[in-house]
Every structure is written in structure tokens, then in C-alpha cells.
Structure 1
Amino acid sequence: MKELESLKLRIQNIVESYESEEIGGWITGDGPVPCNILFIGEAPGKTEIEQGKPFVGMAGETFQSYLQSIGLSRDKIRITNTCFFRPIKKKLSKTGRVTISNRPPKSSETKLFKEVLDDEIALVNPKIIITLGNVPLKRLTNFDSIGECHGKLYFNEELKRNVFPMYHPSSLTYNRNDEFKTIYEEDWLKLKEALKTM
């Protein structure tokens, strides 16, 4: 599809001319176009860059299992990101070894891809957009944090689309308590119900 190739080239151009911070590679969205269901994450991590696909790392495995729990499979959804390159931070250990880890994208970095993401959304033409985490949430809604709006359906007037905010799958790794897991699982069940109305 010509339009997808054009998006890929635009992402590549943005990445290649970005010099403010060091970054660790880039990817594009994945999944059918057009598609009724679009998930938008934050930015790719190491495994995503290696495999060239969003949500294939540890958080991706969690994501996959919850997708299946509500009767969805990856080939029926589109997944993309708010920032298409991997934001990284480097640290020098006492032994002189350099470690590279992920960091959240800055708002200036997500702004670089604003038009690309808007164009991808238009191309995918989803009935519902599910934001995963605070980064896509702030980009596509007026909410400040996921805690105030997760698990509910909202309408984005600018995009004329339904938006369903959810916690990022990696939040299960950081919040290892039963209460949070219950909230997270309930959001997926609410999503299942929301999808029935589309």
C-alpha cells in the first residue's frame, strides 16, 4: 500500500534528521489497514526494534494474553506508537560498562510524529482507538493522567473518533499488587463491552 510506504519514509526522515538526543532505532505500526480497532502505545523498546514490530517484548506478551482473553487476535487489530523511535538513556557503570535502557519519550519527541500519527489514524479509519499508557493519552485527549479516565469511552472531537484509555501493559510489572491487577483486568472486560457497541 503506497500510503503506508509513504508513512514509513516520513518516519525515517524524521528519525534521520533528529539530533537532540541519542535514540535506538525505529519501527512503524503493524496490522491490517483499514482496521476497526487501533491500539496506540508509547514508543518501541529493545525487542520491538530487533523484531521491527510494536508490542513484542515482555509488555507485548502481557498484551497478547489479555487480547486473547477478550477474544481478539493480533491479526484483527492494528498497533502503532505515539513516538516511532526508541528513546534511550545510557549509563556508565563503575566497571566502565555502558548500559542502555528505555526512557519515556519527551513531549517534543511525540510532537515530531503528530502529523504522521494523525495520518495513520485517518488511513486505518478505526471505530475505536485504545491508548496504552500516559503518552498516547496526553496526545489524544485532554486528560493529565490515566488514573482519572481508564476503562471509559470518550469521543475525540478533533479526530471524530472514540478513544478508550487503558493502562500500559508494562504497568503490571511495576504494580505487583492484586488490587491493580483486578483494575487492569476489569478494564479489558469493559473494552470487550465497548467493542460490542461499535
Structure 2
Amino acid sequence: MNTLNNIEKRIKNISEQYPNDMIGGFITGDGPIPCDIMFVGEAPGKTEVELGKPFVGKAGANFEKYLNSIGLRRDNVRITNTCYFRPIKRKISKSGRETISNRPPKVSEINLFKDILNDEINLVNPKIIVTLGNIPLKRLTDFKSIGECHGNLIFNKEINRNIFPMYHPSSLIYNKSEEFLNIYRNDWEKLSETLLSL
């Protein structure tokens, strides 16, 4: 039976039994069920795992700012990930100091959670799924790059859902150009208009 409890147990089992040690904890989705609007990110980072919630780090602050700008709050939306555990890479410096950083999830890691994400989508039953970044975009559409389709409504016949691709909020940390900021802001305005039409 597809329940939230069942989904969370499956995420825990996969994460704890993952044979590759290059992961740093896991989280589950956050927000109401059912819910009209569902955001799907890539994978949790360090802060997300520490606090047990998606989008609570630097990228999360950007996300929340723009979410609020179109009249929504975190508790109005469901937020989840394509990969539920934190993929990490370890690096040893010449002095022997170890650093741990995030890495994108591998296709095999995304596929581990494919059925779970589908089940979470069915449980949430959203009118629209907003993908944040290339990884959820490739998982839920046939597009290969966010640049091809951001800010446009796409219908996924396989899962019978509206998909609205957007840039990942962390992109604002790396790309501070005025041009990109305008594109990003414009996509949120388009999302706001799209929500009114659904």
C-alpha cells in the first residue's frame, strides 16, 4: 500500500543498505499531502541532512524568497528530491586533510528511487510539478537541458502530470549576472501565471 510511512521506510532501507559509502545521510519529502504544487529538487546537501528537510541551505533561502514573492509559503507546497540521499565525494589534500563535498547523483542512484518518487507523486497528486535543475528535469521529461525548456509548461503523458521546469535556486549563487537574474525572476512570474490557469 502506497502510504507516506511506506515511502519513508523504503527511502531509509535503500539509503542504509546502499553498498557505496559515498553518501552522507538521507531525507524524505516535506509538506502537505495531498498538495496542488510539488517541487522536485536534485538531492539533499549537508544542511538538508542535518535539519532533515529539503531546501534549507543557501539555495533554500533563494528558493523561499522567490516562493514568497509569488504569494506562496513553504507550508503551502510539497518539496522533495529525485535522489533522497546525499551523494558526496571525499578529497584528501596533500597535507592529509579530508574534505567532503556534494556531488550530483549518478543515474544508477536516481534509478534506485525511481518508483519511490513516482509513488510520492501519486500520493501527493499535484496539479503541477516544478522541477528545479537538470536532474529532476531529465528524470521527468525528455529534455536534456534546462536551457531548452525553462519557464514552459510540459505535459508528461507517462505519469499524466503537468511539469514546469525551472533553474535550480543554487544557480543564483554561481551566476550573478543581471541577465540570468532577470531570466530566473521571469520564470517565477510565469509560474505564478501558470498556477492561476490550472
Shorter-chain TM-score category? over 0.9
The separation in 1 between residues aligned to 2:57 and 2:95, in whole angstroms, is 28
**1:33 — aligned with what?**
33
**For 1:181, what is the secondary structure of its paired residue?**
helix
The separation in 2 between residues aligned to 1:62 and 1:24, in whole angstroms, is 23
Question: Which of 124-133 and 5-14 deviates more?
Answer: 5-14
The separation in 2 between residues aligned to 1:114 and 1:191, in whole angstroms, is 25
Question: Which of 159-168 and 9-18 deviates more?
Answer: 9-18
List structure 1 segments (4+ residues) > 6 angstroms apart after TM superposition: none
Identical residues among aligned pairs (%): 66
Once the two structures are TM-superposed, the CA of residue 38 in structure 1 deviates from its matched residue by 0.1
The separation in 1 between residues aligned to 2:66 and 2:176, in whole angstroms, is 17
Instruction: Give the TM-score, by structure 1 length.
Output: 0.98
The separation in 2 between residues aligned to 1:47 and 1:161, in whole angstroms, is 30
Q: Which one-letter code corresponds to 1:27 in the other structure?
A: I
The separation in 2 between residues aligned to 1:65 and 1:58, in whole angstroms, is 11
The separation in 2 between residues aligned to 1:190 and 1:21, in whole angstroms, is 41
**1:117 — aligned with what?**
117
Q: Which one-letter code corresponds to 1:138 in the other structure?
A: K
The separation in 2 between residues aligned to 1:174 and 1:13, in whole angstroms, is 34
Q: What does residue range 1-198 of structure 1 map to in structure 2 within 5 Å?
A: 3-198=3-198
Deviations 1:117-153 (A, max 9, x none): 0000000000000000000000000000000000000
Q: Which one-letter code corresponds to 1:159 in the other structure?
A: I
Q: Which one-letter code corresponds to 1:164 in the other structure?
A: F
Q: Which one-letter code corresponds to 1:75 in the other structure?
A: D
Deviations 1:65-96 (A, max 9, x none): 00000000000000000000000001112221
RMSD (Å) for aligned C-alpha atoms: 0.9
The separation in 2 between residues aligned to 1:138 and 1:42, in whole angstroms, is 11
The separation in 2 between residues aligned to 1:94 and 1:183, in whole angstroms, is 41
The separation in 1 between residues aligned to 2:155 and 2:39, in whole angstroms, is 15
Structure 2: segments with no counterpart, 5+ residues:
none
Structure 1: segments with no counterpart, 5+ residues:
none
**For 1:152, what is the secondary structure of its paired residue?**
coil
